[in-house]
């Protein structure tokens, strides 16, 4: 790959924005529709700059999320490592997918992530899974093209400077 490296600052800034969007308060009725922002940003960078962002980043961001949101340490980390691994395996194909097809793959990966997450919840004694966890990945199906384009524009903008 002869693509140029993306600045560390840009990657960090997009992850910071994703973390902020994760905790921004939403009305109670919308809580289940909140997209998994950090995973989306992670997926984008795993596709576009795999030299810099991969499982290690997923693990770190996951731990940060666990710290911030009060979940068990390692819970988000485990999910994001798996997301990064899957995307790492299929990213060559994903780069040539049309956006809607990409969105479908991302939605599938995130659904899988939610299933792992609930499974951990179950092991930790949090009882029966809640079917509402499926809403957030479905929302991603519709917003992924936009998120992808926004991140892509941002990246290209910073490259020309």
Partner 1 sequence: MVDDSHSDSNALFSGSTSGALRLALYTMAAVALLVADHHGRYVDTVKDKLSVLTYPFLTAVQLPVRAARWVGDSVSQRQELMSRTEELERRLLLTQAQVNRMEALEAENQRLRDLLESSPKLGDRVLVAELLDVDLDPFSHRVVLNKGTSSGVYVGQPVADAGGILGQIEQAGPLSAFAVLISDPNHAIPVAINRTGLRTIAYGTGQTTELVLRDVPASADVIQGDLIVASGLGGRFPRGFPVGEVTRIDNQSGNTFITVWVDPSAALDRSREVLLVWPGDHRLANVPEPEQP
Among 10, 59, 108, 141, indicate the residue that binds partner 1 (CB under 8 A): 59
d(CA 50, CA 84): 9
The vertex-116 CA angle with 115 and 119, nearest 5°, equals 85
State yes or no: residue 20 binds partner 1 (CB under 8 A).
yes
Which position among 4, 125, 131, 161 is part of the footprint of partner 1 (CB under 8 A)?
Answer: 125
Q: Using DSSP, state whether 132 is helix, strand or coil.
A: helix
Helix (H/G/I), strand (E/B), else coil: 2 = coil
Name the minimum Å distance from CB 144 to partner 1. Answer: 21
29 is written with which tokens?
Answer: 């009725």
**Residue 7 touches partner 1, criterion: CB under 8 A:** no
CB of 106 to partner 1, least distance (A): 19
Structure tokens at 36: 């998994």
Q: Quick check: 1 binds partner 1 (CB under 8 A)? A: yes
> CA 1 to CA 46: how far, in whole Å?
14
With CB under 8 A, what is the number of residues at the site for partner 1?
A: 54
84: which 2 tokens? 């990064």
Task: List residues binding partner 1 (CB under 8 A).
Answer: 1, 8, 11-12, 19-20, 22-26, 28, 31-32, 34, 50-60, 62-64, 67-75, 77-78, 81-82, 85, 88-89, 91-92, 120-121, 124-127, 130
């Amino acid at each position: 790959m002869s693509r140029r490296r993306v600045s560390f600052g840009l990657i960090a800034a997009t992850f910071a924005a994703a973390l902020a969007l994760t905790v921004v308060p939403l009305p109670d009725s919308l809580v289940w529709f909140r997209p998994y922002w950090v995973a989306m940003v992670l997926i984008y960078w795993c596709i576009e700059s795999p030299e810099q962002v991969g499982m290690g980043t997923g693990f770190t961001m996951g731990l940060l999320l666990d710290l911030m949101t009060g979940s068990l340490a390692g819970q988000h980390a485990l999910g994001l490592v798996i997301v990064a691994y899957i995307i790492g395996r299929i990213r060559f194909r994903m780069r040539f997918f049309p956006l809607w097809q990409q969105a479908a793959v991302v939605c599938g990966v995130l659904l899988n992530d939610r299933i792992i997450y609930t499974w951990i919840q179950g092991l930790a004694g949090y009882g029966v899974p809640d079917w509402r966890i499926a809403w957030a990945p479905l929302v991603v199906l519709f917003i992924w093209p936009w998120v992808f384009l926004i991140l892509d524009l941002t990246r290209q903008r910073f490259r020309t400077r």
